[in-house]
Structure 1
C-alpha cells in the first residue's frame, strides 16, 4: 500500500518559508542569510546571536518570539516583524495544521479545558463584540492553515467523503462509512472529511484502521459504541476515540477539515492532520477544492445537497481543470428521498463531467466507482 500523504510536506513552492527551528538552522548554515525569507511561528529566543549577524533585509517574521535586542536589530535592519499576540488560545501564524493531541490537550480535565473548546469560546465571544482586530486574527489564522494544508497535500490523491454529523457510532451506517474510509486508504488515496463527528469520523476512523488486520476495525467499532454521540458529553465521546488510538497506535493518516463556526461539533480524533478554520465558507470550498481524486457523497440532508452542487459547479464550468469524479451513494436516497441525482445528471449531459459522475446503491461500491471514473 502506498502512503496516502507524502512523508514530508512539499517545500518546492514554499522554499522561502521557515516553519521550524530546524529549518531556521538549516537555512542559516547553508546560506548565511535570511534575506527575503518568511519565518513563521518559530521561537527564536535562543537565536539572538544569529539574528544579530545575519543579512535579514526584506525578511518577514510572523509571530516569532525573540529577545528585545534581536527584535530591535531585526526591525532596524529592514525586516518586518509581526509580534506574537498574547492571551490567545491559538497561534494565528502557525506553520502546520493541527493534530488531535494538540486540539484535545487537557481532555483529562474535561473537554471545556481543551484548546479546541477554548478557541471556540474565543471565537464566539469576539464575534459578538464585532472587534476588527479579532476578525483580522481569524483571517490570518485561516490563511496560515490553508498554506499549511496545501504544503501537506501536494502530490497526494485526495478523495473527499461527505456526510452528516448525526450518524451515530454503533450503527451499520457508521460501520459502512468506516469500511469505505479503510478501502479508500488501502487503495492509496488520502481520505479527507469535514473533520467532525458522525460519517466524517467514521471515514477518518477507517483510514486510521487501514494498516491493521480487518478485525481491528470491528473491535474499534465495538469500543466506540459505548459513547454513540458527542451529545450529551463531548468528553466521553472523545475519550472513547483516544482509547482506540492508545490500543492501536500509529494508524493510517487522513485529513479532517472542521470549523469553529460549528463549535458545538467537536473535531474527531482519527484524522492525523486537522485543518481547522474559523470561517466555514473557506473550509467548505477548501475541502471540495482539495479533493482532487474525487468526492463520495453519503446520504445526507441540506448540507450534503449543498456540497454536491458546490462541487458540481466548478466541474460544470471546468474551472478547476479536469472534472473530478463524483460518486453518490444510495440510489433510493438520491433519486426519491432527495432527488439530487436527476438534476446532477441533467447538468452533466453533454459536458466533460458527464463521464465523471456515478450513482451506486451500496457504500462498498464507491471505491471502485472512484477508480473507474479516473480518480
Structure 2
C-alpha cells in the first residue's frame, strides 16, 4: 500500500518499495498494477483462463475484423441502392410485392441491391434483385429473433455490431429506398438523415415508399421539430415521399449520375 505525499502523489520511498514499472506499447503499469506475467507468457500458457475472449481489447479486434471483411467484400460492388424495411412483412402483404418490384427495378437501372439480409421487406427486395439477375447483397446482424440471411442473398456478410453494419450501408449505397418498417427501419432512416445533416457523408437521396404509411412521420417532423426550430426546412426536404417504385429508383439513379 502506498502513502500519498504532497499533492496526492506517492512518496519516493513508496515508489522504491512498491516494486517495478512495466510498459507494453502505450500502456504503463506501476506498483501494484504490474502484471505478474508477461504478454508472451500469457499468450503461450495453455493453462490460462479463456475469459479474455470476452474482454474489451479482444472485442476491438472483432470490430476491426468486421470492418476489414466489409470493406474487402464490398469494395468492388459498384453502384448500389440500399433498401430498408420491416422483417415482419408477410409474403402475401402488398408491401412484399412492393419490395420485389423495387429490387427488380433497381437491377434494371444498373444497381446492386443491399438490404439487411433478413426476412420480410428485406427478403422481398433481395428476391426482386435475384430474379432480375442482379447482385443481391445482405448485410445481416446477429439478433436473438432472426435466423440468418434470406435465400435470395448471393453476397452476404453477417455482423455482430450494428455500427459496423451501418457503415457498410452508408459507404456502399448511392441512395436509400425505405419500405414500411418499425424501430429498426426508423433507426436506419434517422441515422442516414443525421449523417447527411451534419455533413458526415456526401448528400444522398432518401425515398420513403408508401405515402399512407409515412405521411404521419413527415407531418410530425413539420409540426414538431421544424415548428420548434430544432431542424431546418431543408432537413425535412431530405425525405422524398412516393407510392411509385419506379419513381423511387429514378430518384436514386438521377442523383447517382453526374450532371452533364
TM class by shorter chain equals 0.5 to 0.7
Deviation at 1:337, TM superposition (A): 6.7
Deviation at 1:169, TM superposition (A): 1.6
Q: Deviations over 1:40-68 (max 9, x none)?
A: xxxxxxxxxxxxxxxxxxxxxxxxxxxxx
Q: 1:349 aligns with which of 223, 226, 233?
A: 233
CA–CA distance in 2 between the matches of 1:341 and 1:177? 25
CA–CA distance in 2 between the matches of 1:201 and 1:345? 33
Q: 1:310 aligns with which of 186, 191, 195?
A: 191
Question: Contact 1:333 / 1:339 at 8 angstroms: preserved in 2?
Answer: no
> TM-score, structure 1 length as denominator?
0.48
Q: Deviations over 1:248-299 (max 9, x none)?
A: xxxx32211111134533321211111101123332x224322430011111
Question: Contact 2:66 / 2:164 at 8 angstroms: preserved in 1?
Answer: no
Could you say which structure has the larger radius of gyration? 2
Deviation at 1:162, TM superposition (A): 0.4
1:273: which partner in 2? 155
Deviation at 1:312, TM superposition (A): 0.4
Q: Is residue 212 of structure 2 the alignment partner of residue 329 of structure 1?
A: no
Instruction: Give the aligned CA root-mean-square deviation in angstroms.
Output: 3.1
Q: 2:81 aligns with which of 150, 159, 168?
A: 159
1:195: which partner in 2? 117
Q: Is residue 220 of structure 2 the alignment partner of residue 299 of structure 1?
A: no
Question: Contact 1:167 / 1:199 at 8 angstroms: preserved in 2?
Answer: yes
Deviation at 1:324, TM superposition (A): 1.2
Question: Contact 2:114 / 2:169 at 8 angstroms: preserved in 1?
Answer: no
Q: Please say which of residues 356-365 and 172-181 is displaced more in the overlay.
A: 356-365
Shift of the 147–333 alpha-carbon distance from structure 1 to 2, 3 Å rule, reads same
2:66: which partner in 1? 145
> TM-score, structure 2 length as denominator?
0.67
2:167: which partner in 1? 286
Shift of the 262–297 alpha-carbon distance from structure 1 to 2, 3 Å rule, reads farther
Q: Is residue 205 of structure 2 the alignment partner of residue 358 of structure 1?
A: no
2:16: which partner in 1? none
Q: Please say which of residues 185-194 and 329-338 is displaced more in the overlay.
A: 329-338
Deviation at 1:142, TM superposition (A): 4.4
CA–CA distance in 1 between the matches of 2:188 and 2:246? 21
Shift of the 270–138 alpha-carbon distance from structure 1 to 2, 3 Å rule, reads farther
1:368: which partner in 2? 250
Deviation at 1:313, TM superposition (A): 0.6
What is the number of equivalent residue pairs in this alignment? Answer: 204
SS at match of 1:170: coil
